[in-house]
Structure 1
């Protein structure tokens, strides 16, 4: 049941590859898949909608006097993909959606090949898991879910439940010296274990990368690390409980929705010494899913991330406007009236607090309708 619930999340919000148009030519098995999707949102308080009508943390501070009551709709989450398997067992997958350029432009999501456990190209980061995710209608989901939750260029090897990868690194500084260029000298190294036993599905991962800068005369760097654990358990045929815990130090790009909207800065440069100092953070989610039968379900979830800016503040770095805490609570109702069709409505409450103590919150409602093929 836990595995089926995880697959349902993937179908509705992530991959949508279970339903596909399949055909065979010359020994190549090819699937064309995707979906058309409408997202519509009503922001009860300040306007927090991004493309796909997802809720944003950007600007969610001191918003008491902001204009309220904002409606919008788009179909930018709609996607299409092609997957083919050669007679020799080589798998190739190319997929895109229309969230690029702020919405409406084709965006590359997946483009990779895989053979005998060796994958190269762009796809979900190996430092990602959907096992502990609660099914949300909001495309960007809850803060604190496990790992990067996005796609990146990589070389990966998978054997059984273990996956190892070298990936394009993701990091940023909150401040850097004048005339300095951020430098990534090494790829990010990840290791992930993901498996299931009975009604339990679980995942755990580690990541290490380098955060550095170079002014031409000064070359400084530090190592950043991240880890997460995630699990889903079926309490019965009707109820699942799931969640995740994450910790980062010098790798906040991998702490989901910890910054202005997504990853926070991973490090800062000490103004006195010029040394690279890492910034730590942590987060987590918890949720439950209730299968009501007849294609109906209810999902509730909570997520939070916290970033520790104390050392940067003590060293005189200007971080007052940085997000210290982002959180969200949500509840949705989803209905599948016929095969390949999903409709749902979701309520979410977003909250943000900055280092300065300034804070803000907002309530919003999201409607979605998705037609898979």
Structure 2
């Protein structure tokens, strides 16, 4: 029974992270021939007030890499661009597909677009080098830095069998050279399961970094590994966390702000780094909860310039309330800090309000 409860908690945590801290309900289910389909999504208002400087993007989220140290505060903004809509369908043969989009960049974009059959998935969805097991709910759309894996969607071919999944993905590269190129895909593997009072996930990614300017060329092997876990101490209290290490794959170290590799003379040298998260959720009853989440990243300073980001961290404390089914409201305080290789550091604070209506 405890294991079943934990699996349900893990699924709920994933839904919270993907849909913005409120349960997903399929209000529009329909059948056409041998196809069962549903339309889902939500409408969301996000409002933020930046105390120190304006960090808000199109959905009022913040990134520590955007801190400039301007100390010009008092920035208010509001947006409904995070609102999204999606369609899921399954036919009588077990073929599934999912199309989903939102308005986060300021115009409509594809989030998910894939089909799957008997464990084989093809299209765009969450990277296989990713997990929500260790995620703690935040109102901020970006969430904590250092989270487990890539934390975004990418084109891929994936095979899943039991708790194991393997994929060939579009590589996410950031080589510090105008002559950079991707010569191989990214290869990933992930294991995710639960046992007793714990949920856990571990993943790995391998890819190649390359550059070729017509005169000189070089390549390196980049890789990353992560582990994430959640533990339900009681029906009221849970803790979650993740650790992530990369070498030549800093795009897979969430919001680290670094490049995968840099050209030194004619040689390509990898950047390495690590990150971690820790969070807790406390259910207060009556559909309300308090969540605290912390994240950090740090890069090896061997190949960094004085003005390059060496470390990031952020912290969120929020209160979320579900007054009725499919409606979530919440307030959140966020703290962000960015440190350069030179040792110079800047921080910023902000508060946020969100209201979300799911269908």
Assess if the C-alpha contact under 8 Å between 1:143 and 1:326 holds in 2: yes
Taking structure 2 as the reference length, the TM-score comes to 0.95
SS of 1:53 mapped into structure 2: coil
Report deviation, 1:294: 1.1
1:155 aligned residue: 157
Q: Which runs of 5+ in 1 are unaligned?
A: 314-318
| Distance 1:300-1:2 versus aligned 2 partners, 3 A rule | farther
Q: Distance in 2 between matches of 1:3 and 1:331?
A: 25
Q: Distance in 1 between matches of 2:7 and 2:142?
A: 22
Assess if the C-alpha contact under 8 Å between 1:3 and 1:199 holds in 2: no
Assess if the C-alpha contact under 8 Å between 1:6 and 1:131 holds in 2: yes
SS of 2:103 mapped into structure 1: strand
2:292 aligned residue: 300
Q: Distance in 2 between matches of 1:290 and 1:255?
A: 28
Assess if the C-alpha contact under 8 Å between 2:65 and 2:309 holds in 1: no
2:273 aligned residue: 281
Report deviation, 1:356: 1.6
1:197 aligned residue: 195
Q: Distance in 1 between matches of 2:134 and 2:66?
A: 28
1:28 aligned residue: 35
Measured against aligned partners, the alpha-carbon deviations of 1:165-200 in whole angstroms (never above 9, x if no partner) come to 0000011123x3xxx521111100000000112321
Report deviation, 1:51: 1.5
* Alignment equivalent of 1:188, drawn from 186, 189, 194: 186
Taking structure 1 as the reference length, the TM-score comes to 0.92
Q: Distance in 1 between matches of 2:242 and 2:208?
A: 25
Measured against aligned partners, the alpha-carbon deviations of 1:29-69 in whole angstroms (never above 9, x if no partner) come to 00100000000001111111112111122441433xx3111
User: Do residues 43 (structure 1) and 50 (structure 2) align?
Assistant: yes
Assess if the C-alpha contact under 8 Å between 1:2 and 1:240 holds in 2: no
Assess if the C-alpha contact under 8 Å between 1:17 and 1:33 holds in 2: no
* Alignment equivalent of 1:145, drawn from 126, 144, 147: 147
Task: Summarize the alignment of residues 167-316 of structure 1 with structure 2, pairs less than 5 Å apart.
Answer: 167-174=169-176, 176=177, 181-259=179-257, 264-271=258-265, 274-310=266-302, 312-313=303-304
Q: Distance in 1 between matches of 2:130 and 2:343?
A: 31
Report deviation, 1:17: 7.7
Report deviation, 1:23: 1.3
2:25 aligned residue: 19
Count of matched residue pairs: 352
Q: Which runs of 5+ in 2 are unaligned?
A: none
Q: Distance in 2 between matches of 1:196 and 1:115?
A: 24
Measured against aligned partners, the alpha-carbon deviations of 1:196-219 in whole angstroms (never above 9, x if no partner) come to 123211000010000001112333
| Distance 1:369-1:349 versus aligned 2 partners, 3 A rule | same
Assess if the C-alpha contact under 8 Å between 1:146 and 1:230 holds in 2: yes
CA RMSD of aligned residues (A): 1.3
Q: Distance in 2 between matches of 1:306 and 1:55?
A: 18
SS of 1:350 mapped into structure 2: strand
1:316 aligned residue: none
User: Do residues 53 (structure 1) and 60 (structure 2) align?
Assistant: yes
